[in-house]
């Protein structure tokens, strides 16, 4: 080490053997990965602590999964499928991934809040939106990205005390994560066959094993390490990246209301992007995916009609031609696949990974 420093200081050039050069190169890559891991881990830990990912043993209330009243959608359509865009897959008797919700232990209270919140936004809702479940009202078009725009938006909020924790990699790798192992997993987590918890687990496992659509790379991360490995596989082993999350600046239980755009939305440079969505499971699972088609990421400052402030992140997908015609966004926006970019807001529990800008 000292020799290297001395030779560098006097301008000498030392030719290292090829094996030694490769060994040093590998060591540097490992050091970069380790630094990247810990810097992102600290940020990720702060995000999850703030938005909820506490260490909890699997409990039944974590897996209660109330059904949405979906009068305007056929059975089997994945109404919250913001990751894989193939919304046409049908599962046993119309049970599809993400029809069931994980964080619904206060079902009656949440449904009451939804009804109360919905009453406040009907003034801005078109008649067809009155028939939609409020929780699908997260979509908009790029034409809406302007100061003063007011629109109804649903922001899911989770209870930190009841959110499943993210397991260490060693522990996560010791538990099978496969639909073929579902009977064993139900016994392992003490969930009865046919229970809401069992259905939620089944749907998540099925969703994670579905083939990606054209141009999509997908992965279900069972640990932070596996999540970061996937992000590195998309951006490159020596890349530096950052995670973006929506922040609720005021404490409020309101889930659905009209919001006004306070400032010109800020576009975040994102030549590549990885989006990660939480999935219903006894421990934290992130469904992560990246698409080769062009996307844009925006930070939007919002103010709710009750005074709530939100620093929200949204993604606009510029090419939707490969999406299923049954995707919920087309029904909400009343457009056809490939005719317009589709944008959607991210709740605080979901993550957007983008390359960190390089300093010139």
pLDDT the model gives residue 214 = 87
Give this prediction's pTM: 0.69
Identify the band that residue 131 occupies on the pLDDT scale cut at 50, 70 and 90. low
Most confident of the following: 23-32, 177-186, 250-259: 177-186
Q: Where are the domains of the chain?
A: 22-355
Per-residue pLDDT tens digits for 303-323 = 999 999 999 999 999 999 988
The three-state (H, E, C) secondary structure of the chain, written as one string: CHHHHHHHHCCCCCCCCHHHHHHHHHHHHHHHHHHHHHHHHHHHHHHHHHHCCCCCCCCHHHHCCCCCCCCCCCCCCCCCCCCCCCCCCCCHHHCCCCCCCCCCCCHHHHHHHHHHHHHHHCCCCCHHHHHCCHHHCCEECHHHCCCCCEEEEECCCCCHHHCCCCECHHHHHCCCCCHHHHHHHHHHCCCCCCCHHHHHHHHHHHHHHCCCCCCEEEEEECEHHHHHHHHHHHHCCCCCEEEECCEECCCCCCCEEEEEECCCCEEECCCCCEEEEEECCCCCEEEEEEECCCEEEEEEEEEECCCCEEEEEEEEECCCCCCCCCCHHHHHHCCCCCCCCEEEECCCCCEEEEECCCCC
Mean pLDDT of 273-280: 96
pLDDT the model gives residue 1 = 39
Lowest mean pLDDT among 50-54, 249-253, 289-293: 50-54
Question: Is the pLDDT assigned to residue 70 strictly greater than 60?
Answer: no
Per-residue pLDDT tens digits for 186-237 = 999 999 999 999 999 999 999 999 999 889 999 999 999 999 999 999 999 8
């Amino acid at each position: 080490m000292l020799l290297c420093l001395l030779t560098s200081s006097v301008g000498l050039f030392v030719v290292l053997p090829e094996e030694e050069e490769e060994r040093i190169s590998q060591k540097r890559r490992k050091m970069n990965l380790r630094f990247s891991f810990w810097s992102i881990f600290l940020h990720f830990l702060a995000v999850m602590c703030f938005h909820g990912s506490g260490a909890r043993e699997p409990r039944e209330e974590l897996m209660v999964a109330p059904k949405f009243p979906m009068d305007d959608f056929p059975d089997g359509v994945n109404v919250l499928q913001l990751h894989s865009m193939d919304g046409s897959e049908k599962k046993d008797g119309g049970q599809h991934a993400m029809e069931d919700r994980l964080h619904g232990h206060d079902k009656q209270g949440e449904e009451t809040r939804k009804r109360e919140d919905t009453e406040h936004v009907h003034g801005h809702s078109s008649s067809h939106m009155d028939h939609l479940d409020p929780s699908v009202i997260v979509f908009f078009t790029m034409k809406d990205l302007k100061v003063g725009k007011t629109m109804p938006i649903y922001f899911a909020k989770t209870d930190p005390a009841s959110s499943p924790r993210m397991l260490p990699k060693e522990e996560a790798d010791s538990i099978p994560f496969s639909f073929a192992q579902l009977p064993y997993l139900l016994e392992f987590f003490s969930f009865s066959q046919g229970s809401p918890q069992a259905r939620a687990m089944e749907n998540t496992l099925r969703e994670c094993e579905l083939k990606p659509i054209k141009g999509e790379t997908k992965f279900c991360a069972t640990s932070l390490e596996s999540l970061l490995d996937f992000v590195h596989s998309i951006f490159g082993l020596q890349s530096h990246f950052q995670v973006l999350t929506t922040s609720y600046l005021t404490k409020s239980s309101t889930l659905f209301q009209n919001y006004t755009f306070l400032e010109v939305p800020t576009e975040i440079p994102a030549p590549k992007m990885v989006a990660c969505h939480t999935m219903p499971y006894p421990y934290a699972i992130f469904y992560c995916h990246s698409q080769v088609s062009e996307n844009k990421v925006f930070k939007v400052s919002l103010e709710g009609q009750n005074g709530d402030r939100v620093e929200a992140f949204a993604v606009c997908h510029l090419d939707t031609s490969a999406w299923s015609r049954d995707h919920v966004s087309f029904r909400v926006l009343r457009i056809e696949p490939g005719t317009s970019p589709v944008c959607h807001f991210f709740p605080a529990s979901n993550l957007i990974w983008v390359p960190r800008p390089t300093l010139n």
